[in-house]
Amino acid sequence: MTDILRPRRSVLAALSLATLGLLSACASTTSVPPTTPGAISEETRMMYMAVDDGDITVPAIEDKYLTEAKKRQVVDYWSDEKPGTIIVDPGARWLYQVLEGNKAMRYSVAVGAEGLSFSGTANIALKREWPYWTPTQNMIRREPETYKPVASGLPGGLENPLGARALYLYKGGRDTLYRIHGTPSPWTVGHATSSGCIRMFNQDSMHLYERTPKGTKVIVLTKGQSGQGTVPPGTALPATAALEAPAAPASAT
């Protein structure tokens, strides 16, 4: 079973995701159909079982949101980057952490519109466990009824849009507003969504967090680079399916 750090508890969110739109760079209320259930191994279930994180219990990921392809796993990956480097492939909806010997740990991710707004190289300047989330002033002005009640922010917890862990990307000392983070909406993982950055199953965000020190280099591929690293040097890149159309926003309750 995966090794998981067990940190402090944050106050549970006062508002559910159903009543929230998401943050400029990283949040969403979109609804994506679950993956068609398949044969899930007991090993996979164990990887995504419920886990006590301090005094918060992270729920298990249901079988219907999992496939053997979507689980985190070591895959062949050719890169000259230093082991530990994170390579995000938004077009294919995979995140790779480079290992030695032409291998990488691969994670399935959800990609929102903001997740397509940045490409190139950055670094992890901040890491947060059960991160705080605050709406921007533009969001409050645009939808005061929704965001003014939480203008001071939403504490970390099971209903927080950023999930259990968040990695914050900076470039040249400035915040890119690009985040790699967990999600309370596991049905979105592996899909395109209308908003948000790069979302992972909470269990995967915790796993990646423990393997990623501050200062880690992150490379976000362009659409034209999608698939890079998945074949040996000199081999033509595989065709990448187009991103799915974003799902319609869920109705507020």
Q: What is the pLDDT of residue 203?
A: 98
What range defines the domain where residue 130 resides? 17-34+44-64+110-212
pLDDT tens series, the chain, 253 aa:
433 333 333 333 333 333 344 444 565 544 444 455 458 999 999 999 999 999 999 999 999 999 999 999 999 999 999 999 999 999 999 999 999 999 999 999 999 766 777 899 999 999 999 999 887 676 678 778 877 888 888 899 998 989 999 999 999 999 998 999 999 999 999 988 766 689 999 999 999 999 999 999 999 999 999 999 999 998 888 765 444 444 534 432 2
- Tell me whether residue 128 is in a domain: yes
Structure-block tokens of residue 213: 């020190």
The partner residues of 122 in beta bridges, in order of sequence, read 218
The angle subtended at Cα 133 by Cα 216 and Cα 162, nearest 5°, is 55
CA separation for the pair 159, 27 (Å, rounded): 12
User: Domain of 175: which CATH number?
Assistant: 2.40.440
Report the number of distinct structural domains present in the chain.
1
Cα end-to-end span (Å), the chain:
37
